[in-house]
Amino acid sequence: MAEIIKKEENKSLVKKYTPEETKEIIIDHCVLPGIDINHTLRILADEVMPKFCGDVKEEQEEAQKRILDEAMNIMRAFETETQVGIMEAVNKQYQSLAKELSRQIIKDYNCKTSIEKTLANNIAHSYIKILDGSRRLNNDLGKPGQEINENRTKYLTMLSKQTDRAQRQFLAALMTLKQIKAPLVEMNIKATNAFVAQNQQINADKKINEAK
């Protein structure tokens, strides 16, 4: 009888979870191996790095290979810090420019948040597309004796449109970043009555109203 009572007491101590709590636990603790970057970093920190920093040569080589295998995935996951994605998105001759320009914009505008850094990447990427489109246009137009035909006209039209689109994307991303980084303007208006309409402000003092 005492055992039955003890079991009943233990049952009463078991926490009951709501569907919302269950969802949060699953989202926080379930991982997708090879996809969840925090899980990958945890495995590397706990299992791989100790071997890499150890004294056993075979384990060091094995750990180094594992780190190299995961390095690109980790760097892509932290794109705002590494600029790997933007370097992969442009031709090889522009990869160094993509990285340095993005980092310079981040420095110039003191970008701190992920949104600000992403905009810096977009600005750099758009600028490179402008350069690349202009280069292709100049190279094609500079060819002596090039025949003017329908296919060439379509190609040049497409290049011109892409360059113009890249220019608009560049300006849009730049203006958005400037607006985000612009300091807030505080306005204090002290008046009995204040009427504001279409950039015009009229202040009417109480004494003037009484004089009328």
Domain range spanning residue 169? Answer: 92-181
Structure confidence at residue 1 as a pLDDT band (50, 70, 90): very low
Q: Is 175 in the same domain as 108?
A: yes
pLDDT at position 198 is: 52
| pLDDT tens per residue, range 15-37 | 788 888 888 877 777 766 667 88
Question: What pTM does this model have?
Answer: 0.69
Considering its fold, how many domains does the chain have in total? 2
63 and 20 fall within a common domain: yes
User: What's the CA gap between 4 and 62, in Å, rounded?
Assistant: 55
pLDDT given at position 203: 52
Q: Are residues 6 and 73 both part of a single domain?
A: yes
Question: Would you state the pLDDT for residue 75?
Answer: 93
Most trustworthy range by pLDDT among 44-53, 93-102, 194-203: 93-102
**CA–CA separation, 117 and 102 (whole Å):** 8
* pLDDT per residue as tens digits for the range 167-176: 999 999 999 9
> Does the pLDDT value for residue 107 go beyond 80?
yes
pLDDT attached to residue 205: 52
Cβ neighbourhood burial of 26 (10 Å; 0-12, 13-18, 19+):
exposed
71 and 99 in a single domain? The answer is: no
